Structure 1
Amino acid sequence: MKKVALLSAAVVACFGLFSANAVSAQQVTATRQIAPIFNQLLLLSAPSTFRPVFENVGNRGAFYIAESVPAGESAKQWTQMITKTGAKDLATRANLSPQVLAVNLAGRFKSACPTSFNSLDLGAMSLDGHDAYALVASCGSVADGNGSHSESTLIVQIKGDKDYYGLQWAVRGPASLQPLALTAPAWRERLQTLQPVRLCPIVPGESAPYPSCLH
C-alpha cells in the first residue's frame, strides 16, 4: 500500500478504464463477498474483475484490513483498489460517529496534499439499518517510489453493533497540480456498485459462504 492507501489505518491505530469521474459498464458485473470481521459478518459487492491481494489484522488484533485490485495488478502497483476495514469495539465509544471518522480520514488525505486536495460530501445514510456516512477525498498529486499520481477515494464508515467498518474505493490517475473535479453521480454509482452492504450476526459453527447472511 502506498501513502494515501495507508491513511485508513491511521484513523484507528485501472485508470485506463475508469477515470475518477466515470464508471464503465464493466463495473456492473459484481460478486458478493462475505467476511467475519470481529463481531459481525460484513457483506458487500465488488466488481468481478477484482482480486484480493492483501489481508491483515494489526494493532494488537484490533484492526482488520483487506484489499482487492483489478486482476493483473498488485498491492504495490494498482489503478484501483477496494479496501474493507474493521476497528474492534470502536462503536462502543460514545464520542464517535460515522461522520466524525469519515471526515477525520479525509483530513489525513488533505494533510498529504494540501494544495491539490478536494472533497465531495455524499452524506449520511443507513446501510442495512446501520448508521453510515460517505464522502470522497481526492489528492491531485501524491508521490511514491514510482513517481507522482492523483488518487481519489470513496470513503464509507459504518457503525456496527460493537465495531466500526470501513469501505474505500480508490482510483488513481495522472498527477495534477490542481484539485480534481469530483462529480457526485459517478461516485454515487460506485457506492451503488458496492451494494448490498450488510452486517450480519456471526452464527456459531457456520462457515463460508455464510448462508445466513445471503438472504
Structure 2
Amino acid sequence: MKASMTLIISAGLFLLSPSYNVMAKEPTPHINAITAYSDADGGSEQKQLSIFANKVSFDLPVGWKMAFNSEKGNMYKAEFVPAGETLNDWSALYCIQGFKGLATSIDSTQFLDRFSDTYQDACQGSVTYEQLGMTQIGGKEAYHGIIGCTNMKSVYGGATSRTRQGEIGYYAVLKDTEDMYLIHKSMRGEVFSESNPPLNGSNHRDFISKMLQLKFQR
C-alpha cells in the first residue's frame, strides 16, 4: 500500500507542486454553497466544497474567486485568488487539496516534508521551511509549517514586469479517518532573504486566522 500511495503522489505532482506558469481553465463548479456575511475585515464569504466523503466549509474575503479545480482519481484540488487576479499573476492564493485513502499510508509530517521538496523545482533562490509541529484544525489532527522561496523562477513568463518575486505560505496537512487534506494560503511579493522571511512562526497567526475556521461535515 505504501508503495502504491508513493506512486499516486509522484503521478500527481501537478496537484502537489506550487502553482506557477499555469494556464488556468474555466473550472467546473464544485462549490455547493456560498454564504456572504460581514465581519471586522470588511466582509467574508463562506464557501463549501464536496471533497470525497466530506463537505468542507471555509471562509475567504469577499470577491475571491475559484481560479482552478481538478479531480483526478483519488486527488482533488481547488485554488482561489482575489478578484482580478489569475493563476498566472496573483498576489495571494488559497488552496485546498484532498487525497483519498492516503491517511493510512503516510503521516502528516512525512507528507509536508515531501511537499517542501517539490518547491525546489519552482524556486530560483533558496527554499525556506519552518516546521511548526502538530495542531488541531477543524477538529482534525494537523501538522503545519511555513514554506517559501526567496526568488521564484520566472513565474510570470514575461507577461508582466514582475519577473522576480518571492513566495511564502502557511501549509497544514490534516488527517481524516482515511483521507488526507492539504490546505495552504500563500502570498507573493518582493524577493526576500532566507534569514528574514516575511512570514514566520511569530507573525503568521493573523495571516491564517480565517483558515482556522475550517469545518468538516459528513
- What TM-score does the superposition give when structure 1 sets the normalisation length? 0.73
- What aligned pairs does 1:20-99 form with structure 2 within 5 A after superposition? 29-58=43-72, 61-93=73-105, 96-99=106-109
1:32, 1:119 → 2: CA distance?
30
Q: Does the C-alpha gap of structure 1 residues 41 and 161 become closer, same or farther in structure 2, counting only changes over 3 Å?
A: farther
1:28, 1:102 → 2: CA distance?
33
Q: Equivalent residue for 2:22?
A: none
Q: Does the C-alpha gap of structure 1 residues 83 and 10 become closer, same or farther in structure 2, counting only changes over 3 Å?
A: closer
- What aligned pairs does 1:61-210 form with structure 2 within 5 A after superposition? 61-93=73-105, 96-110=106-120, 112-113=122-123, 115-144=125-154, 145-146=157-158, 147-176=163-192, 178-179=193-194, 180-181=196-197, 182-201=199-218
- Per-residue deviation at 1:29? 3.6
Tell which deviates more after alignment, 132-141 or 111-120.
111-120
Q: Say if 2:82 and 2:92, in contact at 8 Å, map to a contact too.
A: yes
Q: Say if 1:8 and 1:105, in contact at 8 Å, map to a contact too.
A: no
The runs of at least 4 consecutive aligned structure 1 residues that moved more than 6 Å come to none
- Per-residue deviation at 1:9? 2.0
Q: Relative contact order: is structure 1 or structure 2 higher (C-alpha 8 Å, sep ≥ 6)?
A: 1
- Per-residue deviation at 1:115? 4.8
Segments of structure 2 that go 5 or more residues without pairing to the other structure are 1-11, 18-38
> Which residue identity does 2:47 align to in structure 1?
Q
2:190, 2:174 → 1: CA distance?
31
Q: Does the C-alpha gap of structure 1 residues 44 and 163 become closer, same or farther in structure 2, counting only changes over 3 Å?
A: same
1:8, 1:103 → 2: CA distance?
17
1:116-136 CA distance string (max 9 Å, x none): 222222221122331111111
1:64-100 CA distance string (max 9 Å, x none): 111110111112111111011111111132xx12222
- What TM-score does the superposition give when structure 2 sets the normalisation length? 0.72
Q: Say if 1:141 and 1:175, in contact at 8 Å, map to a contact too.
A: yes
Superposition RMSD in Å: 2.5
**Number of residue pairs matched?**
178
1:183, 1:158 → 2: CA distance?
20
2:41, 2:74 → 1: CA distance?
32
> Which residue identity does 1:102 align to in structure 2?
L
1:114, 1:131 → 2: CA distance?
33
1:145-171 CA distance string (max 9 Å, x none): 132311101111111122111111110
1:161, 1:52 → 2: CA distance?
27
- Per-residue deviation at 1:109? 1.8
> Which residue identity does 2:166 align to in structure 1?
S
Q: Say if 1:27 and 1:193, in contact at 8 Å, map to a contact too.
A: no
